[in-house]
Structures are given as structure tokens and as C-alpha cells.
């Protein structure tokens, strides 16, 4: 008796088969086996029932799975990933394999213990989760396929496209660029006194009178000239710094970028490999929850190795929409301090290991001393105060493993809070007088928000509820590498708008609701409602479809095409060169001469339509209808040269062979009639 277990990844399947031993065959679906068709929308109102077709490898994969199904007499177990995509893949497998009473199992880690527990508790497929995945896929298809052609026509760019998440990600970068461009720097001033090896800064707050910054440089120079001060107070205290939470998908991608220099897609690909090797738990998660078993392992490891473990396990507040069945990204076994088959895998595993163990270590503690000083003489009639603040790490706690939060940019000032710093303010006695060695003016400029990096863009997308963290890597690749809407630049690989992205935003902005920051967040909440049975599939998609139709109608009236076709007034679109030997060319968006569509073509002139090209009428007349013939030529391998009738739209389909550059009018040809066998 043999049972067939179907997973998504071949490498994960090999490990599971080794763990389970005889009695089990493990095969992989290699991701999705069916999807919406690439040609055509594949879904229509009002039911929005998807028309699924096999993926490129799907048909071959299913044929192999059916052969294995026939060989395994103890049935099939569906063990695809535990997210909605995995649930949908399991449902598609059930359909194509004809499973009636399916057995579905899920597990958070590829370990013998987790697998045995899952096999002991099979369940049915969660159809609500499948509906939620299907609704997301269809909503994305509606937006992409309904809007992209219209946008491409308006921009005159054949490959321009829109997407529910990718377009909003581009808007975030565009908004940040506009904010930076519109920022006006304001110079403001402070002063600093030096006493041997420590310093005190002028406290401008008592004199600001409601303003944010002190802008009077002359007064700041007078303050910097102060030398005699009186000690008003000197207080000692302690502050603490708590460790960051375990990784979820978003913070894992941020840490991979900020600490290791990996782009988000690379981080997720490496994490996928570690998961398949059984080294870490599932990497697509939106929670920071650790299982009781994981906590027991962390506590045991910490005590055995002398780490400052907390007395009571730490927990973190979870987002309202977090999927509670999932767990944080963590090592499968805490005692395993190194894992991975190459250097990058080992680096990411080490980051995950330190984050997981560190989250259960004690707070770091700092000794803080604050001295308040006052100038002994008024400055231009005003009382001036200074503050000397010293801070020293006195107990490392979680910082024994890592000095900072790896998901934060170490150069970001906001991320430095709680870091080690020192200004050795001595113990001072209230009422004593001190003489400063030197004084200096501190000039500062207000700064605009920094440009996004991929890590900080992901952080904001997560904060705003835009898209799913598991897809952020693919979104970055789409907008930067595939579509060239956004560019990377500089050592920190900051993001800025490319010209193509600016044009896209100019066309989309204020015309489509899906570009609003709250649209995707609300849609994600409604998708979660479908998954929990609180929202309706058809109602949600019907609302999306109706809104798009209304917006497209208004858009086509409001926004004229950039380059109208001289023949039919539809938009001309730039078609990219197919290879190095060919050139880009402009064609009507309704170009389809074989189906009675427009046949206008033009050469490319530095990104704009140039002189007309394409079919040219000759002086030779068709022997069938008398209309001029067109010389049609395709050069290169598989090319042709013949003369076709210009009256093909009116039904004359005669053509004539090319005979030394002229039509052989004695040998007319008609299209071969289709037979029943052909169709």
C-alpha cells in the first residue's frame, strides 16, 4: 500500500520522502498547474467564473501525477503550502485528478515531527480560502486587462501596463519624488559648549515661542560665546531597549536588503530554499507568533549557553488581519546554529537565527546622566539653558547577539534610538559653576524625506496595507527591472522615477480609484472577508468591474491619445524592435489588416511617429476587382514577397507571385479553403 503526497516544490518533496520512508511517494506540482489564459481576459461579468487553462508545464505535470496516482493504491494527500495560493493549488489538483474525498494537510515546517502531526490530522480543502485567492486573481486580471490597453493607447507605448499593486508602488515613489522636489530647506541654528571630553547643547525650546526651529544665527553666535555656566541639576537614571520581534515576511525582506544587500525577490528565493531544506519555518507569514515548542527550544538553548533569557516569554501584538494559523519565520530547530547549502543561504539563516533567539533575551540597559546648565549671564536679555546628556550601555541583554534591529536601515536616524552612544558627562553638583573650554554654532538644514530604497518602500507598502508581503519581491522586479517605471541609483540603491514611470503616473493619477492608497487595503480586507465567509465573491468583483467600466468611459473622454492615427483617430503605439537587426515602429492600436482593421504604420523618429511606412500601393491593378496591388515583403529566414489586393477588406483576397519585382498577373492565388479536417 502506497500513498501519493503532492507538494509544490520538487526539492521539498525529496526531503519529505526521505523523512517518511516506505509507504509514501512524494511528487511536486511545481507551483500552479492551471491559471487564467495569457491571451484574453478569461473571466466575464456577471458571474466572474474563471476560464482556467493549463500552465506551460501544467499539462505535463498532471499527466505524470495521474500515472503516479494509478500506481499508489492508498490514495492521494494534498500537501501544498499553507497559504491561500497553496489552498488554491490543492483545489486545482483535486479537480484535475478527480478526487472526491480529498485529504489536505498543512505544516509550518519540514520536519519529521510536523509531518507526522499533519498526516494524523487531514482535512478537506478550505473552499473559502480558495474563493479569496480566486477573487484576488480575478480582480488583478480585471484591472490589468481592462485598463492596460487603454493606458498603452493613451501613452503610445505598447508594453505599458497597470496593476493593482505595482501601479500603487510606483505612485509611492512618485509621491516621494514630488515631496522631495517641493521641499524648501530651512537653515536653523543651535550651539554647543565643550567641557574637556564632554559636551552640552543649547536647549532652544524655552525660547522658540511656538516655532519649530531657531533661525537667528547672530543670537546663536552669542550663545556659542558663553563660557560661564551654573549647574542647575544633574540626574542619573536608566533606560532600556527591547529586542525586535521575530521576522514576518516584510521584516525579513527589509533585513535581507538593509543588512545583506539582497533585493526582496532574492531574499524570498533564498528563504524558500532554506524552507525546502527543512532549515526554517514557512517564509510567507504575517505574524510574529512563536509556537510553544519553539519557545521551549529557545529557552533551553539560552540556558545551556549562558544567554540572558527572559523570565517570561515575550509576545507581540498582532495585526487584526494576521492569519493566526501561521508562525513567525524562525529556525526549525534552535540548536542548529548554521544551515544552508551556500554562503548566501547561511547568511540569511544566521540573520533569522539571531532574530529568533534574540527576541527572547532580556532588555539592554543604559545608564543615562542628564545635566542642566544655565549661562551665568543673560544673552541679549534672555536666559539661556544647556543640556549635557550622557548614555552608556551597562547591560547588553539581547545586544549580545546583534547590536541593532537588522530590519531597520542603520543609516536612518530614526533607527538609532536605543543604540550605544556615549557623552561622558561627569557627576556634577547642583550650584557649582563651570567654565567651557570652547563653544561653536551648530548649523542644520531641514531635510526632505529620503528617497525610498526597496526595503523602505516595502515597509511603507506594509504600513499602508498595499498588496501581500509575499509578492513584494515580484512587485519590485516588475516596476524596476521589467517595466522600467522606477530606477535604482547610488550606493544605497535608492529608487527614483524613470521617465516612463512619470508618464504612466501622469495618465493614471486622478483617473482610476485603484491607484488610491486605501483601495488596495480595503480590497485586501474584503478578500479576508471572503476567506472568513463575511463577504461575497460576485458582489466584490461586480463592484470592481462596474467601477472600472465607469472610470474607463470617463477616461477616454477626458484624456486624448497622445499620437492619434491619421486614418482612424485611434492611438498610435510604439512597437519595440524584435531583434538587433530590426527597428521599432509605430502602428495603430487597431492594427489588424488581416481582419479588416486599420493598417497604418509609421517609422520611429526619436520616440515619436515619423513618416508613414508599411504597405504601399503599386501601379499594378488586381485582375479580380481592379484595385491597386500592395507589394508585401518579409525579409530574412522564412520571409516572403508577393503582391496582394488592397481590396482585401472588401472581400477580394487575390494575391500574385513576385516575378522579378512585378506581380505575375497570369497566376492569381486565392486563400486555401478550410476543410472540416482543418477545423
For residue 443 the three cell numbers come to 548649523
Cell numbers 504604420 correspond to 601
Contact 469, 407 (CB under 8 A): no
Active-site entry in 282, 472, 537, 600: 282
Which parts of the chain register pLDDT below 70? 319-325, 410-421, 578-582, 590-597, 614-616, 634-638, 672-679
Cell numbers 520611429 correspond to 604
State how far the Cα of 463 lies from the Cα of 460, in Å rounded to an integer: 5
For residue 528 the three cell numbers come to 479576508
Q: How many CB atoms lie within 10 A of CB 367?
A: 15
Q: How far is C-alpha 451 from the geometric centre of its chain's CA atoms?
A: 17
Kind and range of the H or E element at 629? strand 628-634
What's the CA dihedral at 450, 454, 456, 461 to 10 degrees? 120
Sign of CA dihedral 165, 167, 170, 171: negative
State how far the Cα of 314 lies from the Cα of 337, in Å rounded to an integer: 21
Nearest C-alpha neighbor of 373 from the set 438, 432, 426? 432
* DSSP track, 578-599: SSTTS--EEEETTB-GGGT-B-
Beta bridge partners of 331: 280
Beta bridge partners of 575: 585
Q: How far is CA 9 from CA 13, 105, 107, in A?
A: 6, 15, 14
Domain 249-358 class, CATH top level: mainly alpha
Q: How many CA atoms lie within 13 A of 482 on its CB side?
A: 12
Q: How far is CA 538 from CA 68, 512, 584, in A?
A: 37, 21, 42
State how far the Cα of 385 lies from the Cα of 395, in Å rounded to an integer: 32
State how far the Cα of 220 lies from the Cα of 441, in Å rounded to an integer: 6
Residue 301 DSSP SS3? helix
* DSSP track, 327-338: --B-BS-TT---
Query: Looking at the domain that runs over 135-181+452-558, which CATH code has it been given?
Result: 1.10.460.10
* DSSP track, 104-171: E---SB-SHHHHHHHHTS-B---HHHHHHHHHHHHHHHHHHHHHHHHHHHHHTBTT----TTHHHHHH
For residue 22 the three cell numbers come to 516506505
pTM of the model: 0.81
Contact 327, 316 (CB under 8 A): no
Contact 18, 41 (CB under 8 A): no
φ/ψ bin of 569: left (φ > 0), alpha (ψ from -120 to 50), beta (otherwise):
left
- In CATH, which of 1.10.260.40, 3.30.70.1150, 2.70.20.10, 3.40.50.11720 is domain 187-242+364-445? 2.70.20.10
Same fold, 3-125 and 135-181+452-558: no
282 is catalytic: yes
Beta bridge partners of 613: 601
Cell numbers 510553544 correspond to 292
pLDDT of 432-477, one tens digit each?
A: 999 999 999 999 999 999 999 999 999 999 999 898 888 999 999 9
622 backbone dihedrals φ, ψ, rounded to 5°: -70, 135
The reported pLDDT for the residue numbered 413 is 45
In degrees, to the nearest 5, what angle opens at C-alpha 199 toward C-alphas 198 and 203? 150
Return the CATH fold of 3-125: Rossmann fold (3.40.50)
Question: Could you tell me the residue ranges of all domains in the chain?
Answer: 3-125, 135-181+452-558, 187-242+364-445, 249-358, 567-609, 615-679
Cell numbers 541639576 correspond to 233
The reported pLDDT for the residue numbered 597 is 64
Amino acid at each position: 500500500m502506497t500513498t501519493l503526497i503532492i507538494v509544490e516544490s520538487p526539492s521539498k518533496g525529496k526531503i519529505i520522502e526521505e523523512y517518511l520512508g516506505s509507504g509514501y511517494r512524494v511528487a511536486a506540482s511545481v507551483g500552479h498547474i492551471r491559471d487564467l489564459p495569457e491571451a484574453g481576459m478569461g473571466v466575464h461579468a456577471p458571474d466572474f467564473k474563471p476560464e482556467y487553462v493549463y500552465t506551460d508545464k501544467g499539462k505535463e505535470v498532471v499527466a505524470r501525477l495521474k500515472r503516479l496516482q494509478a500506481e499508489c493504491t492508498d490514495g492521494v494527500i494534498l500537501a501544498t503550502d499553507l497559504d491561500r495560493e497553496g489552498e488554491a493549488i490543492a483545489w486545482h489538483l483535486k479537480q484535475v485528478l478527480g478526487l472526491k474525498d480529498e485529504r489536505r494537510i498543512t505544516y509550518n515546517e519540514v520536519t519529521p515531527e510536523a509531518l507526522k502531526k499533519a498526516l494524523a490530522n487531514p482535512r478537506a480543502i478550505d473552499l473559502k480560502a480558495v474563493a479569496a485567492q480566486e477573487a484576488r486573481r480575478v480582480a488583478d486580471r480585471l484591472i490589468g486587462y481592462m485598463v492596460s490597453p487603454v493606458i498603452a493607447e493613451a501613452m503610445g507605448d505598447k508594453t505599458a501596463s497597470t496593476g493593482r499593486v505595482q501601479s500603487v508602488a510606483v505612485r509611492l515613489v512618485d509621491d516621494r519624488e514630488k515631496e522631495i522636489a517641493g521641499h524648501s530647506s530651512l537653515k536653523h541654528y543651535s550651539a554647543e559648549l565643550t567641557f574637556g571630553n564632554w559636551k552640552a547643547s543649547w536647549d532652544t525650546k524655552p525660547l522658540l515661542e511656538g516655532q519649530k526651529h531657531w533661525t537667528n544665527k547672530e543670537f546663536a553666535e552669542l550663545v556659542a560665546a558663553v563660557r560661564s555656566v551654573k549647574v542647575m541639576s544633574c540626574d542619573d537614571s536608566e533606560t532600556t531597549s527591547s529586542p525586535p520581534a521575530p521576522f514576518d515576511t516584510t521584516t525579513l525582506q527589509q533585513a535581507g536588503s538593509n543588512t545583506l544587500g539582497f533585493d526582496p525577490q532574492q531574499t524570498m528565493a533564498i528563504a524558500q530554499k532554506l524552507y525546502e531544506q527543512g532549515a526554517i519555518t514557512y517564509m510567507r507569514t504575517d505574524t510574529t507568533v512563536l509556537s510553544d515548542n519553539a519557545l521551549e527550544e529557545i529557552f533551553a538553548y539560552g540556558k545551556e549557553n549562558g544567554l540572558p533569557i527572559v523570565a517570561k516569554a515575550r509576545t507581540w501584538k498582532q495585526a487584526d488581519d494576521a492569519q493566526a494559523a501561521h508562525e513567525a519565520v524562525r529556525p526549525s530547530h534552535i540548536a542548529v546554529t548554521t544551515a544552508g547549502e551556500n554562503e548566501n543561504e547561511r547568511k540569511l539563516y544566521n540573520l533569522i537565527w539571531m532574530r529568533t533567539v534574540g527576541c527572547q533575551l532580556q532588555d539592554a540597559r543604559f545608564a543615562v546622566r542628564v545635566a542642566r546648565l544655565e549661562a551665568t549671564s543673560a544673552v541679549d536679555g534672555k536666559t539661556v539653558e544647556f543640556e549635557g546628556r550622557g548614555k552608556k550601555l551597562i547591560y547588553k541583554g539581547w545586544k549580545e547577539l546583534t547590536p541593532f534591529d537588522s530590519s531597520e536601515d542603520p543609516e536612518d536616524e530614526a533607527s538609532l534610538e536605543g543604540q550605544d552612544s556615549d557623552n561622558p558627562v561627569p557627576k556634577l553638583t547642583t550650584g557649582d559653576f563651570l567654565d567651557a573650554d570652547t563653544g561653536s554654532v551648530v548649523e542644520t538644514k531641514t531635510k526632505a524625506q529620503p528617497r525610498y530604497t526597496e526595503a523602505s518602500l516595502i515597509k511603507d507598502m506594509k504600513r499602508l496595507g498595499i498588496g501581500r508581503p509575499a509578492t513584494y519581491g515580484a512587485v519590485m522586479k516588475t516596476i524596476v527591472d521589467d517595466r522600467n517605471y522606477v530606477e535604482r541609483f547610488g550606493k544605497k540603491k535608492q529608487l527614483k522615477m524613470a521617465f516612463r514611470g512619470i508618464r504612466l503616473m501622469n495618465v493614471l493619477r486622478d483617473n482610476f480609484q485603484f491607484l488610491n492608497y486605501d483601495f488596495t487595503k480595503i480590497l485586501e480586507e474584503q478578500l479576508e472577508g471572503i476567506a472568513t465567509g463575511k463577504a461575497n465573491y460576485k458582489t466584490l468583483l461586480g463592484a470592481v468591474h462596474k467601477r472600472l467600466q465607469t472610470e474607463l468611459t470617463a477616461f477616454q473622454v477626458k484624456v486624448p491619445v497622445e499620437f492619434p492615427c491619421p486614418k482612424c483617430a485611434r492611438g498610435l503605439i510604439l512597437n519595440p524592435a524584435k531583434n538587433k537587426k530590426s527597428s521599432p515602429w509605430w502602428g495603430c492600436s487597431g492594427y489588424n489588416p488581416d481582419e479588416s482593421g486599420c493598417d497604418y504604420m509609421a517609422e520611429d523618429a526619436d520616440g515619436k511617429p515619423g513618416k508613414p511606412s508599411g504597405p504601399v500601393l503599386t501601379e499594378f491593378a488586381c485582375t479580380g476587382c481592379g484595385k491597386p496591388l500592395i507589394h508585401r515583403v518579409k525579409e530574412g529566414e522564412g520571409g516572403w514577397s508577393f503582391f496582394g489586393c488592397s481590396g482585401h477588406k472588401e472581400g477580394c483576397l487575390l494575391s500574385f507571385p513576385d516575378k522579378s519585382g512585378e506581380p505575375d498577373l497570369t497566376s492569381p492565388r486565392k486563400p486555401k479553403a478550410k476543410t472540416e479536417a482543418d477545423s
